[in-house]
Copies of this chain bind each other. A is one copy, B any other.
Amino acid sequence: MAASIIDVARRAEVSTATVSRALRGLPNVSEATRERVLRAAEELSYAVSPHASSLASGRTGTVGVILPFVNRWFYGQVVAGIDSVLRANDLDILLYNLGDERVHERFFAHMPLRRRVDAVIVLNLPLSAAERESLVSMEVPVAVLGTRIPGCWHVSIDNAEGASTAVRHLINLGHRRIGMISGALGDSRGFTTPIVRQHAYRTVLAQAGIPYDPELEAPGNLTIDEGASAMAQLLSLPDPPTAVFAESDQMAFGALRTLGRMGLRAPEDVSVIGFDNHETAELLNLTTIAQPVAHQGELLAQQILDALSGESEEPTQVVVPTRLVVRGTTGAARVARPRNPLSPRPGPEPDQHSRTSAR
């Protein structure tokens, strides 16, 4: 059916070895021969069998990408970034969506990527120690987005810095009662990113001398709907926040929806800041912490290329900067104004801690 290397060899009147060399542009093939082979291959519309090639050479020309969601904006962007640089180097993408817990378990039980890919890219997946172990035991370069794994390449943003900036932005606007919609998941799987951001939130508040109130932290699970209910929960507090930091834009969108449905406005009634700079953030005029999403994908892919080409390079770790994008949903705290139409409360006294931000 499809022509094999033997057919090409016969037609070009050389051995299969020469065909192989000629086709892959290896040296030590005379120009005349190479042309003859190329022509023969062309005439037979020959294409190498990737499986045979992989079997013989050990290389697969494929990179496995494992991630928790394919249908979320963030991951789509990252994959697009990965794809663009991998494709340019003729590497294919084998996609593994491990969102479902059982799929996740099966994946690590059988390791279907074993001998199947030249490298692996892991996007933001919470992995147990044993799972990390089996990942590195595949003996191929692994690049990880988000969490750091010893021996693996690594790309991430500075989540602590980004979250701190967000909270500081609110504090600088005069807010003292600052809520947070966290991405801590209901299920047991531990994404680390939300935790880091949450920690930064607490730290910055503490630095500003604002007492910690666990009621101000509502879990949102990173979705619009959950963000909406989290906001509803926060607003139902006896002393609701005047500003809210949502750990993701999606949750911030939900928060804005709740606000709208309750007849409240941002930033007049409640300031809202998100995280990601989702494509819709501009549309909704959401203040947020921007991170270069697709670019992180490109960086991961580039690391893979480095690992694959460079003989014995050490894994690098790159941290890309975040950026505060001020739009319309954050504004000065109402306390700063003479009249305080909503939910009057005792203004907390400035305390003894140092404070860097202006009031």
Chain A residues with a Cβ under 8 A of chain B: 1-2, 47, 49-52, 54-55, 60, 62, 69-73, 75-77, 79-80, 83-84, 87, 92-97, 100, 103, 110-112, 114-116, 139, 224, 253-254, 256-257, 279-280, 283-284, 294
B49, A55: Cβ atoms closer than 8 Å: yes
In the complex, A283→B95 CA distance in Å?
30
- Rounded to whole Å, the gap between the CB of A100 and the closest CB of chain B is 8
Pick from B71, B80, B112, B279: contact of A79, CB under 8 Å: B71
Chain B residues lying within 8 Å of A52, measured Cβ to Cβ, are 51, 55
Q: A2-B115, A94-B93, A280-B280 are in contact. Are A70 and B60 (CB under 8 A)?
A: no
- Rounded to whole Å, the gap between the CB of A294 and the closest CB of chain B is 7
**18 extra interchain contacts, Cβ-Cβ under 8 A, other than A71-B294, A92-B94, A284-B284?**
A47-B111, A50-B112, A51-B52, A51-B116, A69-B80, A70-B76, A71-B73, A71-B79, A71-B80, A79-B95, A83-B95, A92-B96, A95-B95, A253-B280, A253-B283, A256-B283, A280-B280, A283-B284
Chain B residues lying within 8 Å of A76, measured Cβ to Cβ, are 70-73, 75-76
In the complex, A84→B99 CA distance in Å?
10
Could you pull out 9 A-B pairs where Cβ atoms are within 8 angstroms? Answer: A47-B110, A51-B55, A51-B116, A71-B76, A71-B294, A76-B76, A92-B96, A224-B279, A256-B283
- Rounded to whole Å, the gap between the CB of A110 and the closest CB of chain B is 7
- Of A51, A112, A114, most B-chain CB atoms within 10 Å: A51
A47, B80: Cβ atoms closer than 8 Å: no
What are the 9 tightest A-B residue pairs by CB atom distance, in nearest-first order?
Answer: A71-B80, A71-B76, A51-B54, A51-B55, A76-B76, A93-B95, A51-B51, A83-B97, A70-B80
- Of A49, A70, A111, most B-chain CB atoms within 10 Å: A70
In the complex, A279→B225 CA distance in Å?
11
Chain B residues lying within 8 Å of A294, measured Cβ to Cβ, are 71
Pick from B1, B60, B80, B253: contact of A51, CB under 8 Å: B60
In the complex, A114→B46 CA distance in Å?
10
B73, A73: Cβ atoms closer than 8 Å: yes
Chain B residues lying within 8 Å of A72, measured Cβ to Cβ, are 76
Residue of B nearest to A64 (CB): B92
